[in-house]
Amino acid sequence: MFVDSSGRRARLLRRLGLLVGAVCVGYAAVLGLAFMGVGISVNPSSLLPFGAGGDGPGGPGPGSGAGPQGGVAPTGPPPSAGPSTSPSAVPSAASTD
Amino acid sequence: MTTPTTPTAPPSPPARGRRRAPSRIGRAASRAAALQRPRVLLALLLLLALTCVMLLDGYLRAEVGGDERVRTGASASDVPDDVLDGGPILTFPGGQATTVSVPDKTIVLTFDDGPDPTWTPQVLDILDEYDVPGTFFLVGSMISRHPGIVRDLVEQGNEVGVHTFTHVDLSYQSEARVTREVEQTQLALAGAAGITTTLFRAPYSSETNAIDDYSWPVYQNLGEDGYTSVFIDTDSDDWKRPGVSKIVEWATPEDDEGASVLFHDAGGERSQTIAALPKYIEKMKAKGYTFTTVSGAMADQQSPQQQQQQEQESQQPGGGRQPEQSGGGLQAAHHKATGATLYEGKALVAAVAVAEWTVPALSVGLVIVGVAVMGRFAMMLVLARRHHRQRNRRRFSWGPPVTGPVSVVVPAYNEKECIEATLRSLARSTHPVEIIVVDDGSTDGTAEIAESLGLPGVRVVRQANAGKPAALNNGVRHARYDIVVMMDGDTVFEPDTVRHLVQPFADPAVGAVAGNAKVGNRRTLIGAWQHIEYVMGFNLDRRMYDLLRCMPTIPGAIGAFRREAVLQAGGMSDDTLAEDTDITIALHRAGWRVVYEEHARAWTEAPGSLGQLWSQRYRWSYGTMQALWKHRRSLTDKGPSGRFGRVGMPLVVLFQVVTPVFAPLIDVFTVYSMVFVDFRAALLAWLAVLGVQLVCAAYAFRLDREKYRYLLMMPLQQLAYRQMMYLVLIHSCVTALTGGRLRWQKLKRTGEVGTPAGNG
C-alpha cells in the first residue's frame, strides 16, 4: 500500500513542500516588513505644500481669525471616553476560541 | 489507537544510500534524519506562517497589542492657548502650530472609525444621493479587512484621513508605536485605494480645547512630519444612540458658523446615524450651508495666490496629487502611493485577506476536533459502562464453556531476553494448549533457548527470515486445533489468560477475540504514559468498538482466532505494516464477529525510549492507514463488509486519523489564547478538557482495577506525549503521500516484564 517506487510522487510532493515553505516565508516576511514599516516612505512632509518654506498658509493668522470660537461651545468638558467602541470590539465573532 | 504488535522481522533492507556509514545504526540514523529534516523545516515554516496569521488576526482585533486605556481630565498647561481656542484643523507649517477654521456656512462632515461593511456603504449612498462629500477617518485594521469599501469611498470623491491602525489612545503610546500605527494605516490605505493621505485624527480626540499635555506632543510630532490633525466643532454623539432628533440638534453649529461635524460610520450599531444623516443634510442645506471636505475647507480659507504657490510646490517633490480625480481640491490631502509603499500595501491587504479566511477555517477545524473528541469521550463512557455491565452480569455466558485444547502461536525473532518468560507463563496455563514457537530466522539463539527449556507441549518451527505475517501463517499451518491464540515473543500471559480468551468462541458467530494487553514496565515516565494510554485504549475504546461491532484491531500481543476464519481470509498478509489491523478488518468483512475479552490479560513490554516509541507508533499509524486504504472498497459493499465500511471505517478515520491531524490546532489556539487573549480563561478551558480526560481515564482505571496514582502523570502527558503522537501521525501521513517505503524496525527488549502479579 502507498508505495510509489517511481519516486514521482515524492518529487512532486517535495516541490509542493518547497512551494508551501516559500509561501510561508514570504507571508511572514511581508508581515514583518509591513508591521515595522520597512522600506516605505509615507512621511508626508516631503509631499506637503508647506514643506521647507516657512511661509505656510499665512502663519497662525487666518485660521483663528475667521475662527468660530463659539463653534467650540456645544460640549464643553474633556473628550470623555468618546466613542469608546474601538473597532476591535465589533466583529470578533468567529475568531479565536 | 492501534495496539501492541511486536515487530519480529526486520527484513534487512538493501543498502539504499550510496555512501557507507561506519555502522548500521549510524546509517539508519542518518537515513532517518535525511528523511525528516525537510519535513521538520517545512513543519516549522508552517507553524511560523500560522503564528503570523494568528498574530495578525489578533492584531486586527486588538487582541494582540491592544490597549483600551483612554486618558481623561489631564492638564493642558503645555498646549498653546491659540490652539486650544483655535479652529479644528491643526497644521505645523515650518514647525509653527497653526489652526484653521471651517468657513462660515460650511459643513465638513467627518466620519470616524470606519470602514464598516454594514454602515459605511449606507453612508456613502446618502452622500451620493445628496451630492455632498465627506471626510472619513479610517482605522487601518478596518481598511485592511474591507479594502473594497475604501476604494469605493475614495472613488466617490470623499477624502480620507488616518485614524490609527488599532484605534488606541496615542497619548499612552511610545513614539515608535505612534509612527507604526500611522505608517501601517497608510500602507493599508495604499493597498486598498492606492493612495496615502496627510490628514490625521487621533482616536478619542474631540475639540481642540480638549487637547491635553499628553496628546499635544503626538500632534506636534505628526504635524512636523507634515500631517494635518483634524478636530471637531460639533459632535453628533451618535455613538450614544440618543435618537435622530438629538443627533441632528447636537451636530448643528450655532448661528451660521462653519463646523467640522463628527459622525461615526462604524464601531457599533449605527442605524440612528443613517437615519439622522439625510435629515441633517437637508436641514443644513435649507439653512444655506454648503458641504466640503477638510482639504476643501482649508483651500477656502487660503488666499488664491497662496494656493497657487502651494500647488506648484507640491508638484515637485512627491509628484503625488491627482487634481483630475479630486473634484476641485476636495481630495488635496491624497497622494498617489507608488513603489514599495504601494506593493507592500497590496501585500498587507492580501495577507489580511488570507488571515481573514484562515482563522475562521481553523476555528471550524478546531470545533470539529473539539466536538469529535468530546463526543468520543461521552460515547466511550456510555458504551464502556454498558459493555462492562453486560459482560460481567452473573447470568452472562457465551454458551457452553470452551474446554478443548487450543494452539498458541508465538512468532519470535531475536527474543532471547523474553522468550523464556513467555513460554514458562504459557506452560502454567490453566487451559490445555499446544505451543508453537515459530522462529523467524533468529540469529541470537532464540530457537535453541526455546528448545532447551524442555517444556511440555512446546514445538519449535524454524523458518528463514520472512517477516511476522509469514511466521504467523506458518504457525497457523502447524496448529492442530481449531482455535489459534496469537501472541508476541515478548509477552507474558497469566495462567487464566488463555482460558478467558477462548470462552467467546462458544458463540459460533465469533471469529476472533481481542485480549487485554497491559504495560509491564510502567515505572518510567514513558512507561506510565503508555500504561495510561493502554488502559484507556483497552477499557474504553475497545469496549466501545466491541459493542459497535467494528473493532479495528486485535492486538498482536494477545488475540485468538478461529483457524477457519483466518484461512478463509487468506491468512496474514504482508500488504501492510499492521497485519493485525488488516486481518481484523478482513474478518469483519467476512461477517465474523470480533469481541473484546477484558479478563484475558497479557503483560507486554512497552518501548522504553522516545526513539523506540516513535518508530513503533510510526509503524502503527502508517500500517493502520495502509489497512484502511486496502479495505476502502468496503465503503460501497453490501452485507457485513458494507456495514464495517460505513460504520467502522468512518469512526476509525475520524478518531485515528482526522482528529490527531487537527489536534495541533488545539495546542496552537490554547497557547495563543493564553498569551494574547485571556490567560485565566484559556487555562481554565485547558484544565476543563484535562478534567474530562482524567474522568474518563479514572473510569477506565476503575474498570480494570488499576492503581490511580499513575494518573498523576496525565497532565504531563498532555504536554509532551500527545504532541509526539500527532507528530508521528502527520509524519506517517506524509510518508504515505510521498510513497516512501517504511519498514519494520525491531524494538529493543530488556525482558524485564516477567511477573504479572508483581506489576502495578
pLDDT in tens, B393-452: 988 999 999 999 999 999 999 999 889 999 999 999 999 999 999 999 999 999 999 999
Whether B626 sits inside 8 A of A83 (CB atoms) is no
State the Cα–Cα distance between residues B577 and B581, nearest whole angstrom: 9
Local structure of B743: helix, strand or coil: coil
Least confidently predicted of B8-12, B143-147, B688-692: B8-12
pTM of the model: 0.76
The closest of B479, B476, B420, B481 to B447, measured between CA atoms, is B420
Please say if the pLDDT value at position B27 is more than 60.
no
Question: Cβ contacts (< 8 Å) between A93 and chain B: which residues?
Answer: none
The residue type found at B238 is D
Computed over every residue of chain A, the mean pLDDT equals: 58
Burial-class residue B154 by CB neighbours within 10 Å (0-12, 13-18, 19+): buried
Closest residue to A62, CB basis, from B100, B209, B677: B100
Rounded average pLDDT over B190-213? 91
Give the confidence band of A41 by pLDDT, cuts at 50, 70, 90.
low
pLDDT at B566: 95
Chain B CB within 8 Å of residue A29 CB: no
Is the model's pLDDT at A44 over the cut of 80?
Answer: no
Substitution target from A8, A16, A36, A50 for chain B, most B beta carbons within 10 A: A50
State which CATH number among 3.20.20.370, 3.30.360.10, 3.40.50.300, 3.40.630.30 fits the domain covering B102-307: 3.20.20.370
Picking from A1, A43, A85 by the largest number of B CB atoms within 10 A of its own CB, the best residue to mutate is: A1
Name every chain A residue with its beta carbon within 8 A of the beta carbon of B205: 79, 82
pLDDT mean over B654-661: 87
Mean pLDDT of B179-184: 90
Tens of pLDDT, residue by residue over B257-290, are: 899 999 999 988 999 999 999 999 999 999 999 9
In the predicted model, is pLDDT for residue B17 greater than 50?
no
The per-residue pLDDT for B462 is 94
Q: How far is CA B40 from the centre of its chain?
A: 17
Give the residue with greater pLDDT, A40 vs B597.
B597
CATH T-level fold of B365-758: Spore Coat Polysaccharide Biosynthesis Protein SpsA; Chain A (3.90.550)
Note the pLDDT of residue B306.
53
Q: Kindly state whether A54 is in contact with chain B, defined as any CB-CB distance less than 8 angstroms.
A: yes
* DSSP structure class, residue B709: G
pLDDT band at B749 (very low <50, low <70, confident <90, very high): low
A26-35, B156-165, B504-513 — which is least confidently predicted? Answer: A26-35
Please determine, for residue B375, whether its predicted confidence score (pLDDT) is greater than 50: yes
**What is the pLDDT confidence band of residue A42, given thresholds at 50, 70 and 90?**
low
Residues of B recognised as catalytic? 112, 264
> For A60, which of B96, B359, B673 is closest by C-beta distance?
B96
Smallest Cβ distance to B167: which of A23, A43, A86?
A86
- The average pLDDT across B14-31 equals 42
Instruction: Grade residue B751 by pLDDT with cuts at 50, 70 and 90.
Output: low
**Residue B594: what pLDDT?**
96
* Contacts with B314 from chain A: Cβ below 8 Å: 47-49
Kindly state the average pLDDT of the residues B713-737.
Answer: 87
Mean pLDDT for the stretch of residues B297-314: 61
Give pLDDT, residue B77.
87
Cα–Cα distance measured from residue B649 to residue B659, given in angstroms and rounded to the nearest whole number: 14
Average pLDDT over residues B494-518: 96
pLDDT > 90 in chain B, percent = 56
> What distance in Å separates residue A65's CA from the closest CA in chain B?
8
Looking up cell 481656542 gives: B85
- For an interface test with B, give the residue of A6, A86, A92, A95 to mutate (most B CBs within 10 A): A86
Q: What is the pLDDT of residue B75?
A: 86
The verdict on A21 touching B (C-beta cutoff 8 Å) is yes
Instruction: Tell me the three-class secondary structure of B652-703, residue by residue.
Output: HHHHHHHHHHHHHHHHHHHHHHHHHHCHHHHHHHHHHHHHHHHHHHHHHHHH
Are B497 and B602 in contact, with CB atoms under 8 Å apart?
A: yes
Chain A, nearest residue to B260 by Cα: A71
Residue A53: band (very low, low, confident or very high) from pLDDT cuts 50, 70, 90: very low
Q: Is A15 on the interface with B (CB under 8 A)?
A: no
The cell numbers describing B356, all together, are: 481573514
pLDDT band at B339 (very low <50, low <70, confident <90, very high): confident
Closest Cα partner for B634 from B653, B620, B648?
Answer: B648
Residue range B218-241: average pLDDT? Answer: 91
Average pLDDT, integer, range B324-349: 79
Measured in angstroms, the CA of A4 and the nearest CA of chain B are apart by 4
In the numeric block, which cell numbers belong to residue B703?
474498570
> Which candidate from A20, A50, A94 shows the least CB-CB separation from B94?
A50
List pLDDT tens digits, range B547-588.
999 999 999 999 999 999 999 999 999 888 899 999 999 999
Mean pLDDT within A63-92: 36
SS3 B598: strand
Q: Residue B750: pLDDT band by 50, 70, 90 thresholds? A: low
Where do the structural domains in chain B lie, given as residue ranges? Answer: 102-307, 365-758
Q: Which residue has the higher pLDDT, A2 or B142?
A: B142
Quote the mean pLDDT of chain B: 86
Q: Which residue has the higher pLDDT, B755 or B388?
A: B388
Say which residue, B218 or B18, is predicted with more confidence: B218
Helix ranges, B503-609 (H): 525-536, 542-548, 563-568, 579-589
* CA-based nearest residue in chain B for residue A82: B204
Question: B262 has which bridge partners?
Answer: B110, B235
Q: Between B66 and B127, name the one with better pLDDT.
A: B127
Q: What is the average pLDDT across B222-231?
A: 90
Q: How confident is the model at residue A43 (pLDDT cuts 50, 70, 90)?
A: low
CA distance B210 to B231: 10
What are the chain B neighbours of A3 within 8 Å (beta carbons)?
A: 739-741
Asked whether the predicted pLDDT for residue A88 surpasses 50, the reply is no
| Crossing angle (nearest 10°) for helices B721-738 and B659-672 | 130
Query: What's the confidence (pLDDT) of residue B487?
Result: 94
Do the domains B365-758 and B102-307 match in fold? no
